[in-house]
Structure 1
Amino acid sequence: MTSREQSDGSKARARSTATPRQVAFDVLRAVAADDAYANLLLPTRLRRARLTGADAAFATELTYGTLRRRGHYDRIIARAAGRDIAAIDPVALDVLRLGAHQLLGMSTPAHAAVGETVELTRRARAARTTGFVNAVLRTISRDDDATWTARLLEGVTDPDERKGIAHAHPAWIVRALRSALAREGRESELDDLLVADNAPPRVTLVALPGLSTAEALGDRTRFSPVGARSAAGDPAAHPIVAVGAARVQDEGSQLAALALSRARPITAGERWLDVCAGPGGKAALLAAEARAGGAMLTANELVPARAELVRRALRAVDPTVEVRVEDGRDLASRHPREFDRILLDAPCTGLGALRRRPEARWRKGENDVGPLAALQAALLRSALSALRPGGVLAYVTCSPHPDETTAIVDALLAEHPADVVPLDARTVLAGITRTPLDLGELPNGAAQLWPHRQGTDAMFIQLLTRR
Structure 2
Amino acid sequence: MADLPRRLAWEVLVDVAEKDAYANLLLPAKLARTKLRGTDAAFATELTYGTLRGQEFYDAVIASAAGRPVSKIDAEPLAAMRLGAHQILSMRVPDHAALSETVGIVKRVSPRTSGFVNAVLRRISETDRDTWLERVTDGLSETGRQAIEHSHPEWVVRALTQALKGHGRDGGEITALLGADNTPARVAVTALPGLLDRETLPGDPAPLSPVSVLLGDAVPRDVPEIADGRARVQDEGSALVALALAAVDAPDGTWADLCAGPGGKAAVLGAEAELAGRRLEASDSSEHRVSLVETSTQALDNVDVTVADARDATGPFAKVLVDVPCMGLGALRRRPEARYRRRPDDVNALAGLQREILTAALEACAPGGVVAYSTCSPHYAETVLVVDDVLRARQKNGESPVEVLDTPAVLAEITGAEADGFASVTRGHGRFAQLWPHLHDTDGMFLALLKKANP
1:27-70 per-position Cα deviation (integer Å, ceiling 9, x unaligned): 11221222221112211211212211111111000000111111
Give the Cα–Cα distance (whole angstroms) in 2 for the partners of residues 141 and 273 of structure 1.
55
Q: Report whether the alignment pairs 1:209 with 2:187.
A: no
Q: Report whether the alignment pairs 1:190 with 2:174.
A: yes
**Other-structure match for 1:454:** 440
Choose which of 132, 152, 168 in structure 2 pairs with 1:148.
132
Q: Report whether the alignment pairs 1:255 with 2:231.
A: no
Determine if contact 1:390/1:466 at 8 Å carries over to the other structure.
yes
AA matched with 1:65: G
Q: Report whether the alignment pairs 1:50 with 2:32.
A: no
Q: TM-score if structure 2 supplies the norm length?
A: 0.94
**Between the two proteins, what is the percent identity of the paired residues?**
50
Secondary structure (helix, strand or coil) at the match of 2:359 reads helix
Mapping of residues 166-245 of structure 1, within 5 Å? 166-183=149-166, 184-217=168-201, 218-245=203-230
Give the Cα–Cα distance (whole angstroms) in 2 for the partners of residues 84 and 368 of structure 1.
25
AA matched with 2:292: L
Determine if contact 1:270/1:294 at 8 Å carries over to the other structure.
no
Choose which of 415, 422, 426 in structure 1 pairs with 2:404.
422
AA matched with 2:401: D
Give the Cα–Cα distance (whole angstroms) in 1 for the partners of residues 424 and 265 of structure 2.
26
Give the Cα–Cα distance (whole angstroms) in 2 for the partners of residues 441 and 68 of structure 1.
28
**Other-structure match for 1:7:** none
**Other-structure match for 2:100:** 115
Choose which of 367, 370, 384 in structure 2 pairs with 1:392.
370
Give the Cα–Cα distance (whole angstroms) in 1 for the partners of residues 352 and 136 of structure 2.
36
Choose which of 347, 351, 358 in structure 1 pairs with 2:325.
347
> What are the ranges of 5 or more consecutive residues in structure 2 without an aligned counterpart?
none
Choose which of 31, 54, 57 in structure 1 pairs with 2:16.
31
AA matched with 1:248: V
Give the Cα–Cα distance (whole angstroms) in 1 for the partners of residues 9 and 426 of structure 2.
43
Shift of 1:185: 3.3
Choose which of 370, 381, 390 in structure 2 pairs with 1:412.
390
Mapping of residues 295-444 of structure 1, within 5 Å? 295-318=278-301, 320-331=302-313, 335=314, 337-417=315-395, 419-436=401-418, 438-444=421-427
1:332-391 per-position Cα deviation (integer Å, ceiling 9, x unaligned): xxx1x5111000001111000010001111110111111112211111111111111110
Determine if contact 1:225/1:434 at 8 Å carries over to the other structure.
no
AA matched with 2:410: V
**Other-structure match for 1:3:** none
Choose which of 120, 123, 133 in structure 1 pairs with 2:117.
133
**Other-structure match for 1:89:** 74
Could you list the runs of 4 or more consecutive aligned residues of structure 1 that deviate by over 2 angstroms after TM superposition?
434-437
Give the Cα–Cα distance (whole angstroms) in 2 for the partners of residues 401 and 82 of structure 1.
36
Q: TM-score if structure 1 supplies the norm length?
A: 0.92
Determine if contact 1:224/1:434 at 8 Å carries over to the other structure.
no
Determine if contact 1:222/1:435 at 8 Å carries over to the other structure.
no
Deviates more, 1:210-219 or 1:280-289: 210-219
Q: In angstroms, what is the RMSD of aligned CA positions?
A: 1.5
- Give aligned pairs, total: 442
Determine if contact 2:106/2:113 at 8 Å carries over to the other structure.
yes
Give the Cα–Cα distance (whole angstroms) in 2 for the partners of residues 316 and 120 of structure 1.
43
Secondary structure (helix, strand or coil) at the match of 1:462 reads strand
Q: Report whether the alignment pairs 1:72 with 2:57.
A: yes
Secondary structure (helix, strand or coil) at the match of 1:116 reads helix
Give the Cα–Cα distance (whole angstroms) in 2 for the partners of residues 272 and 177 of structure 1.
33
AA matched with 1:358: P
Shift of 1:455: 0.3
